[in-house]
Amino acid sequence: MKNLAYYISGHGYGHYARSIPVLNKLVSDFNVHVKSEIPQDLFTKFLKGDFKYWPQSVDTGCRHSNSLEVDSEETFRIFKNFQDRSVIDTEKNWLRDNHVDMVISDVASMPVKAAHDLGIPSILIGNFTWHDIYTHLPGAEEHKHLLQVLEEEYRCADLHILPQCHLPTLQIEKSKEVGFLAQKGQDIRKDLERYLDTSFAGKTLVFIYLGLLGTHSVLWENLPQNKDCLYLTRDPIEQAVPGLYILDDQFDFPDLIASVDVVCTKGGYSTLGSAFASHKPVITCERHDFYEFEAIREYLLKTQTGVIITDDDFYQGHWQGAIKTALSLTVKDKVPLNGEIEILKIVHQMLS
C-alpha cells in the first residue's frame, strides 16, 4: 500500500470536517498520515480505518475579532511569523523518512511546496486559497513579497481540486471541479424529542451554528417572536431563551443538521455542505471582509438553496422572514455532492 500524507488547516473546524469523507475513502486503500493541529480524537471518532496522526500546525489562516470579521493586522502578523519560521526543509526530511508517495493538502501551501521540491505528486484541495483571502484584506499592499511567496508555493501543486462553491482558481496548471465534500448525518429527530422531553409537532426546527466567536453578537431574546419555531444549537449561548435548546457534543453536527428543517449559519463551507447533503436550505448573512463569501453568495443565489439576510437583521435576531422564505426552497438534486468519490479515483489515477 502506498503512503499518503494528508495535511489539514487548523483554521476552525471546516477544513477538518470536509476532510473526513475524503479520508474515509482513502484509509481503506492507502497508508494515510494525517498532519494537523486539530485534535486526534476528532479523527478517531469519525474515521473508519487505520491512520497515523501527527500533531502539527500547517498554516495560520485568519485571525478574527468575531465570527464575521477578520482582524487583518493580526492575520498578517501571524502569517509573517509562520513564514519566517519556514519548516519546508524539516518537512522534506519527514516526507523522505516516511517514504511518502503523495501529498494532499487542505488548504495549506507549505506541504505542496515541500512535495514539489522532492518530486512527490501533490494535490491541493480547497474552494479558496489563503492567497485569495489575504490579497483582499486591508493592508495587503504592504505584504506583497509575502503574498508572492505564498502564490509560488501554491503553484507547486500538481492538481487543484475545486469543491463546489469555489473562488476563481489561482491558475495552478491543472484544476478539477468536484461535488461538495460534506459529512452526511442521520435524522435523529425522534431521539431529540425524547431527550428534550418536548414535541416538535407543528414546529419548524432550526439548527444554529455561529461558532465560538459569534454568539455574543446576536440578540437571542428576539428569537421567540416567531412562535412557530424551535431552535437547536451546540454554540455556547449563555442566556436562557424560550424555545432555544443548547445541546452538547453527544449530538454530532451532521446529525443535528439532518434532523431540522432549516440551518442558520455564519456561512462556512462545511456547514453548507452538510446542509445540502441532507437537502436542507440555509440562512446566512453577509460577511463583508471574508472574500470566500463572494463565492458563497453567488452559489446560493444561483442554486436558490439559501437566503442571505442583512447583518443588521441577523444580529437583531429578526429571522422570521428569512425562515419562511427558506422553507419554500427546494435543495434536493440542485447541487453536486460526493466529491470524495471523485477524489479517490483521481488519487488512484495519479499514483498508477
Q: What is the mean pLDDT of each run of 10 residues along the chain (352 residues)?
A: 98 94 98 98 96 97 81 96 92 98 98 98 96 95 96 97 91 92 97 97 96 80 94 94 96 97 92 97 88 93 96 92 97 97 98 96
Task: Give the model's pLDDT for residue 266.
Answer: 86
Are residues 118 and 157 part of one domain?
yes
Task: Give the model's pLDDT for residue 211.
Answer: 78
Are residues 214 and 175 part of one domain?
no
Distance CA 104, CA 183 (A): 19
Cell representation of residue 315: 444580529
Query: Does residue 45 fall inside a structural domain?
Result: yes
pTM (2 decimals)?
Answer: 0.95
Task: Give the model's pLDDT for residue 215.
Answer: 77
Task: Give the model's pLDDT for residue 171.
Answer: 75
Q: Do 7 and 33 meet the contact criterion of CB atoms below 8 Å apart?
A: no
> pLDDT (tens digit, 9 = 90+) per residue, 60-77?
999 987 766 889 999 999
Query: Does residue 105 fall inside a structural domain?
Result: yes
Query: Does residue 321 fall inside a structural domain?
Result: yes
What's the full length of the chain, in residues?
A: 352
Query: Does residue 333 fall inside a structural domain?
Result: no
Are residues 122 and 63 part of one domain?
yes
Query: Does residue 250 fall inside a structural domain?
Result: yes
Are residues 200 and 312 part of one domain?
yes
Query: Does residue 291 fall inside a structural domain?
Result: yes
E strand or H helix that includes residue 25:
helix 14-26
Are residues 346 and 323 part of one domain?
no
State the DSSP string of 227-292: TTEEEEE-S---S--TTEEE--TTS-HHHHHHTSSEEEES--HHHHHHHHHTT--EEEE--TT-TH
Are residues 175 and 29 part of one domain?
yes
Are residues 150 and 211 part of one domain?
no
Task: Give the model's pLDDT for residue 82.
Answer: 95
Query: Does residue 332 fall inside a structural domain?
Result: no
Query: Does residue 36 fall inside a structural domain?
Result: yes
Are residues 106 and 59 part of one domain?
yes
Domain containing residue 195: CATH number: 3.40.50.2000
User: 283: closest CA among 235, 243, 331, 236?
Assistant: 331
Distance CA 332, CA 335 (A): 8
Are residues 226 and 104 part of one domain?
no
Residue type at position 73: E
Handedness of CA 144, 67, 259, 204 (dihedral sign): negative
Are residues 43 and 95 part of one domain?
yes
| Domains contained in the chain, number | 2
| Residue 211, domain extent | 189-327
Are residues 114 and 193 part of one domain?
no
Are residues 262 and 217 part of one domain?
yes
